[in-house]
Amino acid sequence: MASLRQTPTALSLKANLLSPSLCLPKNPFILKISVPRRSFTGVRMSATVAGSYATALADVAKSNNTLDSTSADIEKIEKIFADESVYDFFANPTIDAEKKRQVVDEISKSSALQPHTANFLNVLIDAKRLDAIKDIVKEFEMVYNSITNTELAVVSSVVNLEPDQLAQIAKQVQKLTGAKNVRIKTVIEPSLVAGFTVRYGNGGSKLVDMSVKKQLEEIAAEMDLGDIQLAV
């Protein structure tokens, strides 16, 4: 059975066979990592600990030459756990771990997750860390981007942009950053009225704002209407 073990080293991954009782596909791994275990308290996992788990998964993916497909798995997981009912189920410490593993098995099959990604979720269940999956997803994105020299650009718009528009945005971000690759993540944001915004850089620190909302705010500022709320 996949398990979390304390070891003197900071991080170590080994391929192994999983007990059939977990009903997962073949070729899982056992994760060994020196981090303290704790019961669910609702406190955000530290970036260091989340980063250790994310790095562990990335190491397995690199060893299997599945880094890109593992990144795709993580995007699927991010969308699944964005559903609060799903997140609350796995974060609930009163629900039996075996029931959580059964649901992970169903999710893995329906989402066609790779064996090592599915097993990683079971590692988090055993370690009582699955409530921190959102933090781990963010850290994995940063690890992946660092390994592949990829710049993440988050494009927010009122409606879905066309593929050619997203491709043009990716080219511009590539020119601005010099990154080898640019990965676009889209977000629907009705408050923008029209147009779009692009966030990139470390933690989304840089912003390109081409939204109508910004234009209206600038017009209001020029007309000294800063105290008037725009009806948008």
Chain segment 14-68, per-residue pLDDT in tens: 333 233 333 333 333 444 433 434 434 443 445 678 889 999 999 999 999 999 9
pLDDT category of residue 74 using cuts at 50, 70 and 90: very high
With tokens 């980063």, the residue in question is 51
Q: Which domains does the chain have, with CATH numbers?
A: 11-145 (1.10.520.20), 149-222 (no CATH)
Three-state SS at 201:
coil
Q: Please state, rounded to an integer, the average pLDDT across all residues of the chain.
A: 79
- Asked if residue 168 has pLDDT above 70, the reply is yes
pTM over 0.95: no
Chain segment 190-220, per-residue pLDDT in tens: 999 888 999 998 878 899 888 888 777 777 7
Can you tell me the distance from the alpha carbon of 182 to that of 170, in angstroms, rounded to the nearest whole number? 6
Nearest CA among 213, 183, 187, 209 for reference residue 197: 209
Record the tokens describing residue 131, joined without a space: 């409530």
- State the pLDDT at residue 217: 76
Three-state SS at 227:
coil
- With a pLDDT cut of 90, the percent of the chain lying above it is 59
Chain segment 114-128, per-residue pLDDT in tens: 999 999 999 999 999
Three-state SS at 46:
coil
